[in-house]
Amino acid sequence: MSVSYSGVTKSFGGRLVLDDISDIVNEGELTALLGPSGSGKSTLLRIIAGLTPLDSGRVSLAGRDVTNTPARDRHIGFCFQDYAPFRHLSLRENVAYGLKVQHVARAQRREQVDELLRLVRLEEFADQYPHQLSGGQRQRMALARALAIKPDVLLLDEPFAALDAQVRAELRSWVRTLQQEVGITTILVTHDQVEAMEIADRLVILNSGRIEQAGRPSFVYDHPATDFVASFLGPITSFGGISYRPHELEIVALGDGAESATVSEVIRLGFEVRVVLAGDDGTSTWVQLTHDQAKHLNPGVGQRYGIRVRSSKARKDAPLSSNVDAPR
């Protein structure tokens, strides 16, 4: 089911948190609301769920206006960052909660809960209580509980933020697979751009209550509409007064029409090697090399090289900063 909102405005105690936000989320898509903390992304998610009232604007599900519909009638699954397990209920009872509310018959309820527990791979923990589960298991329980009512839309607030790195990476791809299997329209809030780029069909980048840019991850990465988006989605460096992604530049032998510069630092991060160079005009630029490129070139501090824009990149005639003046 598609989700759309228009003119959404919200302030808390005189502070404007969302400023006239509008967007459409297509059916079956996974959209990531990406932005730094305080950008208003979680508030937007809560407004879509009906958990926070908005000051002005409209929210629609599949074209039906739900702005004044209470959360319990919106049929939207919502997962909190802390998973909000019902502490006094077993895992099975947690997942069954929504079905009980809908007065699903006991036998049928049990069947559906078993199926959901299989789906989130928690069958063997069915009779355990939330405090006996790990963070990742609690997160999967929260997902199963939300999916139990077969919601039209799934909303996830920072679903992986409270997990350690390894579990997070696993769950991320698992959630993506699950979302595609179930085919449910999903909106996910995150402040982690790598997570958003990996998991989402579409990014909506928020900054201080406004949408900076929305679009496919690869497109937004290559064609950021603003400086904020460019620097938020990945590293940028300045070369000849223009912003570039550090991997769009290359280091070559002196001459050959390249700007000459002196290596001031080499940072080796495994596969990635960062070479920081000081230009003759005093500006600092850094260039990202692969491990193999660095091995081949073997740059050392104090050595002099030329910097130029990689010829294979279309970026050469469309540098990042050419978009800086685009409307916000």
For residue 34, report the phi and psi dihedrals to the nearest 5 degrees.
-115, 135
| CB atoms closer than 10 angstroms to residue 296 | 9
Binding of another protein at residue 146 (CB under 8 A)?
Answer: yes
Binding of another protein at residue 73 (CB under 8 A)?
Answer: yes
Binding of another protein at residue 256 (CB under 8 A)?
Answer: no
Binding of another protein at residue 161 (CB under 8 A)?
Answer: no
Nearer to another protein, 126 or 149 (CB): 149
Considering only the stretches 22-30, 76-84, 186-194, 219-227, report the one whose residues sit in contact with another protein under the rule CB under 8 A. 76-84
Binding of another protein at residue 15 (CB under 8 A)?
Answer: no
Pick from 35, 98, 217, 246: which binds another protein (CB under 8 A)? 98
Tokens 């919502």 belong to 78
Contact 225, 231 (CB under 8 A): no
Interface positions, 23-52, toward another protein (CB under 8 A): 49-51
Minimum distance from CB of 52 to another protein (Å)?
Answer: 10
Pick from 15, 64, 88, 296: which binds another protein (CB under 8 A)? 88
| CB atoms closer than 10 angstroms to residue 287 | 27
CA 268 to chain centre: 27
The DSSP secondary structure of 232-278, one letter per residue, reads: HHS--EEETTEEE-GGGEEEE-S-TTPEEEEEEEEEEETTEEEEEEE
Which two three-digit tokens encode residue 320?
Answer: 């990042």
Amino acid at 68: N
Minimum distance from CB of 11 to another protein (Å)?
Answer: 17
Nearer to another protein, 128 or 303 (CB): 128
* Residues contributing to the site for another protein (CB under 8 A): 49-51, 70-78, 80, 82, 84-88, 97-98, 101-102, 131, 142, 145-146, 148-149
